[in-house]
Chain A
Amino acid sequence: MKKLKSTPMFLIFILMLSSCVKHLDFNQIEDFSAQPIFESSLVYFTLNQVDFFDLINSVEVVTPINDTSGFTILKSKFVQDNLIRAELNFEVNNQFDREFTVNITFLDEHNVETHTFDPIIVTENNHNFKQIESITISGNDQFLKSTKIRVSIELSPSSDGSVLDPTIEQKLEFKSSGIFYLKT
């Protein structure tokens, strides 16, 4: 009885798979490959003159200021297997009459550097600064260990000895996005 129940269904399956499909090649599916391109916002921040001024001592902060964010996306098996390369796009609106250097560094969980981009040097009053950095990720085992990104900003000293006025609002706007090329 048990056999009887399922036999007709199997019969039909076999019929379906075997009839009239002579000049077809189902193995073509092996050649199939999706190559989606995803774009995403990454980190951003806005800093004012006051963020680069030590109000207590009334001096400019000349050492780089840092912030770090963790991320776990590179731990994903899917990303490790399929992310081929990434292009990172940085946009800066610098209203300061000072030059800035932004250093972007990737770190592993032990805070060991895994990758660093060329310094992003933004000249004074450059409201439309753009820089694109590309990184190959497929097979880049060192980069794939990254779990943190550190963005450090360093204010360059003025050429004429003038000092920032923290009472004037002038902004440093930093935006970033990534284009991620996948292949499955």
Chain B
Amino acid sequence: MSIKQILVVFGLSLSSFVYSQNKQILFGFAEMPNTLMVNPGAETNFKYHGGIPGLSGLSLNVGASGGTISDLFLKDNAPFNTKFENLTNKLTNRDFLSFNMQVDILNGGYRLDEKTYLSFGMYQEIDFIGYYPKDVIELLYYGNQPFINKTVHFSDLKFRGEMLGVIHAGLSYKMNKKLNVGGRFKLYSGSLHISSKNNAGTFNTDLGVNNVYNHNLTNVNINSNSSGFFDADENLNVGLKDAFGNTILSKNIGVGVDVGFTYHYSPQIEFTGSILDVGFVSYSKNNRNLSITGNHQFEGINLLYDSNNTNYWSQLNSDFNANVSRKTNADSYIVWRPIKLNGAVRYSFGRARTNKECYDVTYKEYYNNSVGLQLYAITRPLSTQIAATAFLEKSVSENFHVKVTYTMDDFSKSNLGVGVSTQMGIFQMYGMLGNVFKFSDLTGATSASVQFGFNLIFD
């Protein structure tokens, strides 16, 4: 891969849509079937539900910390390189882009008894996060000339991406009037995975002693794992068809759980919380792992004039290979899923209405308004990412609910989201937009989100 290709891939991915997994609008919203996917301990009040295949839950949330699409691609006649340089100048190695899609293929549920609701289904997920490897990108783009007497850190290289299918089944169980708990078991089928993290080492060019410059690779330790990208001959070989196919029962199997609860402290105050994707996938098919370790110093070729006909070049290569080891293997490895944490407190008020169904023997009464706070966290390679959301939820009628959220996270400090959920007969649908003020012009936004779904609900 040439420098240009690497930089082009970087530029394209920087400008591609990005999805943070925070489903702040969906969490705890209107007791829809899909809320069970973000809190298996969410309360439900229906007999059974069936998602419309492929459409029961689509979600897309876009953003990139530190940059927007229009930074690079606005039709403004400015030289592209200048825009690239302006963008990369303002990015730091803590900026990242992340991309996640979850698509429900199947989603259904059935009430086993008054207290227990079973839900199950299958979804596909693509997840990627990459931090901006500032030093490495600048070294490739500018060369080492501006880096003389400066250090390039390989620890900036941090990314992980995976594509997998998830078959799941969960129970939401009412312990008593106040407490509802739930758990979900997940069977992961990994299709593609690639990651590189915990890298270390530096490259620097200093003024030398014996020659003009001294080039140093110091304590280099670069690792990467991949599965599904390279065939047995170590050639890059990844097809979309196989990738999608392998999201169902591939050789890369993993398990995980979600747990959650809903607790009514009082009729008007409710606490909810969930931990999602505590689990791992064991990758073993078409693996290719790479590790580069060592130290090397280079001052140039020392001509000896000793008439020994020394083969300086091969000596140089063998010195390098002796000092810097490059190993590949196809060993299996285990990858922990990014764990997501949700927590919320909700205060309901306004006009109360009665319970809607006989089996819904909840402590709660239904109010037409509520406000609250939510916290979201996800484990990521560099550090845990956190988002805080304040929300207002209003039931316009029994079958039409609106939720407005204000979220602060790594992407922005002012992300306003709106969600609506409506039910007409057995047909239930919801739609949500994050970062609504930016939605007319996504290209200038650092993040935005869309979620929607269609379900059939049988009370």
Contacts and interface: CB of A to CB of B under 8 A. Distances in A.
A42 B300 contact: yes
A41 B4 contact: no
Interface stretch (A29-37, A119-127, A135-143, A157-165): A29-37
A182 interface: yes
Contacts of A57: none
A176 interface: yes
Contacts of B142: 36-37
Interface in A21-52: 21, 23-26, 28-29, 31-34, 36-47, 51
Nearest to A33: B81
Given A4-B54, A8-B105, A32 B81 contact: yes
Interface in B121-156: 124, 126, 139-145, 148
Interface string A1-33: 010111111011001100111011110110111
Contacts of B214: 41
Contact of A184 (B3, B311, B314, B442): B3
A72 interface: yes
Contact of B305 (A6, A67, A72): A67
B212 A176 contact: yes
Which of B83, B211, B439, B450 has the most C-beta atoms of chain A within 10 angstroms of its own C-beta?
B211
A38 to B, nearest CB: 4
A134 interface: no
A21 B443 contact: yes
A69 B7 contact: no
A117 interface: no
B70 interface: yes
B383 to A, nearest CB: 27
A41 B209 CA distance: 11
Contacts of B105: 4-5, 8
B101 A12 contact: yes
B244 A5 contact: yes
Contact of A36 (B72, B103, B140): B140
Contact of A9 (B62, B244, B441): B244
B298 interface: yes
A39 B144 contact: yes
B3 A36 contact: yes
B301 A182 contact: no
29 contacts: A4-B53, A7-B54, A8-B58, A9-B124, A12-B60, A24-B443, A25-B73, A25-B75, A28-B73, A29-B8, A31-B79, A33-B4, A34-B4, A34-B141, A37-B143, A39-B145, A40-B144, A41-B208, A41-B300, A42-B211, A44-B300, A44-B302, A44-B303, A47-B305, A70-B311, A175-B210, A177-B213, A179-B145, A182-B3
B: interface residue count bin? 35 or more
Nearest to A51: B305
A78 B241 CA distance: 32
A71 B311 CA distance: 10
A112 interface: no
A2 B145 contact: no
Contacts of A101: none
B167 to A, nearest CB: 13
A21 to B, nearest CB: 6
B299 A23 contact: no
A91 interface: yes
Contacts of B312: 69-70
A149 B354 CA distance: 91
Which A-B residue pairs are the 4 nearest by beta carbons?
A36-B143, A41-B300, A177-B212, A184-B4
A65 interface: yes
A46 B194 CA distance: 48
A65 B303 CA distance: 11
A82 interface: yes
Contact of B143 (A5, A15, A70, A182): A182
B87 interface: no
Contacts of A12: 58, 60, 101, 103
Interface string A138-154: 00000000000001010
Contact of A20 (B4, B80, B124, B443): B443
Contacts of A9: 101, 103, 124, 126, 244
Contact of B211 (A32, A41, A66, A153): A41
B69 interface: yes
B80 A31 contact: yes
A151 B303 CA distance: 9
A176 B303 CA distance: 12
A31 B73 CA distance: 11
Nearest to A38: B143
B124 A89 contact: no
A89 B54 CA distance: 65
Interface string A95-138: 00000000000000000000000000000000000000000000
A137 to B, nearest CB: 15
